[in-house]
Amino acid sequence: MKRILVTGALGQIGTELVPYLREKYGTDNVIASGKSANGSEKLIETGPFEVLDITVRERITDLIGKHKINTVYHLASMLSGTGEANPLGLWEVNLDGLINILEASRETGCSVFFPSSIAVFGPDSPKDKTPQNTITRPTSIYGISKITGELLCDYYHNRYGLDIRGLRYPGVISNATLPGGGTTDYAVHIFYDAIRHGRYTCFLRENSSIDMIYMPDVLEGAVKLMEADPGKLRHRNAFNVSAITVTPSELTEEIKKHIPDFKIDYDIDPVRQAIADSWPNSLDDTAARAEWGWEPGYNLEMMVEDMLKVLGARLKQTKSSAE
Ligand code: SER
């Protein structure tokens, strides 16, 4: 029986992964954790929740023992934009936190899911259809933490036989919880502003091409990889996955099919633009498709239609209950 601990359960992915895992494995078998109980009311009400500071290793080991955990989805992480404002803080969360999870998992024999990112690539990586194995050399502190994390995960697998698996997520588009300070956040904010105001000011250039993925594919991908036959996994960790390759102007055109008067203008943030410029335009995800059957369900058209429908209904409801 799976007994799962999710770190970073209050983040963009965690808030949706927890109910998805609970539906699949049973509510009581999925322990959500976050750095504070504030803002966690909904999670606390709907199943087991623990406050967890991932920089404290003993607390992780204690929780694994207390709840008889055998699998950790380690989502707690700082993102690229926030990381440039606080590189040492990012190091503490992303790398001290990861090594604590790996050590606690080594001591207790847990499997681990570690989400990496397109941020592991840098200016010297091939730009288009970036291969699974190629030059990485990232320049953002976030990318440096993710490539180091990938190597640490490989090390713990090779050295200690730990079952660690992971994906390189592109920008994640979702409608339940906002992302926390990433370079790809424009692709989420644009929907909120399109619905609320009919216009959006984008912090990336109109032609910045970055791969994106819609939340239902994020959830399905993570669980499918964790359930995959290990004998078929040649890479195990750091699989490129891709679903939607898009620029701000292409996303605008797609939104305009539903909101014809929608307008975008640009006020470039030099820090996040430099990060976006250092990342691939698109990824080659052949290895994920071949080794564990990765197949995204949402393309650009389907994602935009669903985002506008679901978010539109929610924002309307929030507005009318506030009135
Ligand atoms: N969404 C992340 C960011 O922009 C990339 O993994 O930082």
Mutate which of 86, 174, 184 for ligand 1? The one with the most ligand atoms within 8 Å of its CB, which is 184
Indicate whether 142 and 257 sit together in one domain: no
Q: Any residues with CB less than 8 A from the CB of 83 and at least 6 apart, and which?
A: 89, 90, 94, 140, 141, 142, 145, 181
Residue 122 belongs to a domain with what CATH number?
3.40.50.720
Closest CA relative to residue 213, chosen from 175, 240, 243: 243
Is the CB of residue 213 less than 8 Å from the CB of residue 10?
no
Residue 270 has a pLDDT of: 97
Higher pLDDT, residue 323 or 112: 112
Confidence at residue 41, expressed as pLDDT on a 0 to 100 scale: 81
Residue 276 has pLDDT above 80, yes or no: yes
- Percentage of the chain beyond pLDDT 90 is 94
pLDDT of residue 127: 97
Residue 127, domain member (yes or no): yes
Is the shortest distance between the CB of 169 and ligand 1 below 6 Å? Answer: yes
Q: Indicate if the pLDDT at residue 40 is higher than 90.
A: no
Shared-domain flag, residues 131 and 9: yes
Domain count, the chain: 2
User: Looking at residues 313-323, what average pLDDT do you find?
Assistant: 83
pLDDT digits (tens, 9 = 90+) for 223-238: 999 999 999 999 989 9
Q: Is the CB of residue 98 less than 8 Å from the CB of residue 149?
A: yes
Residue at 290 is within a domain = no
Residue 40's CB is within 10 A of a number of other CB atoms, namely 19
Same domain, 176 and 309: yes
- 205 and 124, same structural domain? no
Average pLDDT over residues 241-258: 98
DSSP string for residues in 225-236: HHHS-GGG-SS-
**179 in the same domain as 100:** no
Please tell me the residue having the least CA distance from ligand 1 atom 1. 171
Atom of ligand 1 nearest to the CA of 185: 4
Burial classification of residue 38, based on how many CB atoms lie within 10 Å of its CB (0-12 exposed, 13-18 middle, 19 or more buried): exposed
Averaged pLDDT, 275-301: 97
Range of the domain at 182: 172-212+244-279+298-322
- The share of the chain scoring above pLDDT 70, in percent, equals 100
pLDDT at position 119: 98
88 and 235 together in one domain = yes
Ranges of H-type helices in the chain: 14-25, 41-46, 57-66, 80-85, 87-91, 97-108, 141-160, 186-197, 215-227, 248-256, 270-278, 286-292, 300-322
Does ligand 1 come within 6 angstroms of the Cβ of 117?
yes
The ligand 1 atom at the shortest distance from the C-alpha of residue 183 is: 4
Token pair for 62: 């204690």
- Whole-number Å distance between alpha carbons of 254 and 309: 14
133 and 196, same structural domain? Answer: no
What's 92-159 look like in SS3? Answer: HHHHHHHHHHHHHHHHHCCEEECCEEHHHCCCCCCCCCECCCCCCCCCCHHHHHHHHHHHHHHHHHHH
Q: Are residues 83 and 231 both part of a single domain? A: yes
Tell me, yes or no, whether 286 lies in a domain: no
In a domain, 198, yes or no: yes
* 158 and 11 belong to one structural domain: yes
pLDDT of residue 74: 98
Rounded to an integer, the average pLDDT of 168-183 is 95
Give the pLDDT of residue 44.
81
25-39, 90-104, 263-277: least confident range = 25-39
Q: Quick one: average pLDDT of 4-8?
A: 98
Q: Is residue 136 located within the same domain as residue 149? A: yes
Task: State the closest ligand 1 atom to the C-alpha of 81, by its place in the atom list counted from 1.
Answer: 7
Q: Which of 114-128, 282-296, 309-323 has the lowest mean pLDDT?
A: 309-323
The domain that contains 182 carries what CATH number?
3.90.25
Same domain membership, residue 85 and residue 41: yes
Asked whether residue 184 falls in the same domain as residue 123, the answer is: no
Q: Is residue 207 part of a domain?
A: yes
Average of per-residue pLDDT values in the chain: 96
